[in-house]
Amino acid sequence: MTLIKSISGIRGTIGGAVDENLTPIDAVKFAAAYGTWIKQQRRKDNYRVVVGRDARISGEMIQNLVMHTLVGLGIHVVDLGLSTTPTVEIAVPMEHADGGIILTASHNPKQWNALKLLNAKGEFLNGEEGEKILNIADSNAMEFSEVDDLGKITVNDAYIDLHIDEVLKLPLVNKKAIEAANFKVVVDGVNSTGGIAIPLLLERLGVEPVKLYCDPTGHFPHNPEPLKEHLGDLAKAVVKERADFGIVVDPDVDRLAFMDETGEMFGEEYTLVACADYVLSKTPGNTVSNMSSTRALRDVTEKHGGTYEASAVGEVNVVTLMKKNNVVIGGEGNGGIIYPDSHYGRDALVGVALFLSLLAEKEMTVSALRASYPNYFMSKKKIQLTPGLDVDGILKTMEANYSHEKLTTIDGVKIDFADSWVHLRKSNTEPIIRIYTEAPTQEAADTLADRFIAEIKTIANL
C-alpha cells in the first residue's frame, strides 16, 4: 500500500512496480489525467498550470515528468522550481492560471513524493473534482496535442519573494513592532524549501534568523513531521543561541510549530490558537478547525465573542466550512494556519508573521504566552494497516460500543467525553489508522489513546 490515490492527489514511494508505487509511469498518468480535467473545465485557446516542488530528492525527476506531460497536452507551464505549497497556491491566481500542481509528500519521509492538485483559485480540489481525475486516469481517457500545439515551459523563480511581499502587505502584520522587538529566532528548515522562505521572511521583518538545516538538499536531517521527539537539535540551538524562540516547518511549508526560549515545544496545536487570538483581537469573528484539533481554539474564539465549529479532517473540508461560516481565521491543529485575508490555504509564512506581531505587541516571552492559554494535552498515535484489515468495520463496532456517548461520524468516529475526547480515523495520506486524544494531562491523553489502541486490536484480532 505505497501508492495512495485520493481526491487530494496521488502519493507514493519512489521506485518499485507500476500502480503499486509512485513510478514515472504513475506520475505521467496522473499528470495527464489532471491536465485533461483542466481542459474539460472550459474551452479556450491557452491553458496554463503553475508547478512547484519541495526539495525532496525525487522532486526534480517528478517535476520534469509532470511538466512535460502537461506540455504534451498543449498546456503552458509556469515552472516555480523549488517552492512551497502556499507559494504555489498564491501564484495560481497571480498568474491567471487554470490550476497548479505541487510536488511534495508534505511531512512524509524522503522516499515519498506526491502530486497535490489545485484549481484555478489556487485551492485544493473538492471530492467531486478529485473523483473525476481518478476516473480519467483509470479509463486512460487522455488525448494529447499535435506537434504544432504543444505547450511551453516558462521558468519564474521570483514567487517566494512575491509571496513574502503579499504577507508583508497584510494589515495585521505589525512590521514596525516586530522590528522594534529585535527578535532572534532559530529556524529548522528540515533541509527543504522552508530553509529558503522562512529566513528571507524573517530578514524582511527585521528579525535575526539563525539557520539550522536550511540547505535545500532534500536529505532530511530528522523525521520531517514537526513533532517534539524529532526536534532535539532545535531545542539545543534555541538555548545555545539564547534565541527568543524556534521555528520549524515541514518540507512544503504549510505546517508550522514553535519552540519557546527554554527549548520546550509551544505545541503545534497552539500555533493556530495563538494566531487566532491575535486575529480575533483585531477583527472579531468566527473560527473553524478540524475534528482532530484542540478545544483551546473553541475557548479562545468564545473569549473574543465568536463561534467555533469543527470540520472533517482535510484542508478542503476546513476551507469549505470556513467559507460557509465566513470565518476570520481557521486551519488545522497540525500547525496549519489558513487566513482568508491572504488566501484559502495553510501557510506557514502567514503564521510566522501573525505570531511575531502578537509576540511583539504583547511584549512577553513565548513560554509566558503559552501559559496564558487553556491547557490541554494531546496524544497522536497510529496503527499500521495490514492487507485485508476491515477498517470501516472496526470503526462501526467502535461506534456501536460507544453509542451512549456524544458521537460525531462525519470523519471516522469522534467520541466526546466530559473532559476529554478521542478521534479514530483512516488516514488519507498513509496506510494507518490515526488515534488522536485530548485530555487535561499528558498522562491522561496517552492512557486514553493506549486504551483505544488495545480495543481496536481486540476487535481486529491483531
What are the CB-based long-range contacts (under 8 Å, 24+) for 316-319? 316/7, 316/8, 316/123, 316/124, 316/125, 316/126, 316/127, 317/290, 317/411, 318/288, 318/289, 318/290, 319/123, 319/124, 319/344, 319/345
434 φ, ψ to 5°?
A: -90, 140
Strands 75-82, 47-53: pairing is parallel
Residue entry with cell 467555533: 308
The answer to whether 446 touches 383, Cβ cutoff 8 Å, is no
Q: Which of 8, 58, 106, 379 is catalytic?
A: 106
3-state secondary structure of 150: coil
**Is 6 part of the annotated catalytic residue set?**
no
**Category of 448 on φ-ψ map: left (φ > 0), alpha (ψ -120 to 50) or beta:** alpha
- Going through 240-341 in order, the beta strands assigned E by DSSP cover 245-249, 256-259, 287-290, 308-311, 329-332, 336-338
Q: How far apart are CA 256 and CA 350, in angstroms?
A: 10
Q: Inter-axis angle of helices 194-204 and 348-362, to 10 degrees? A: 40
Give the active site residues.
106
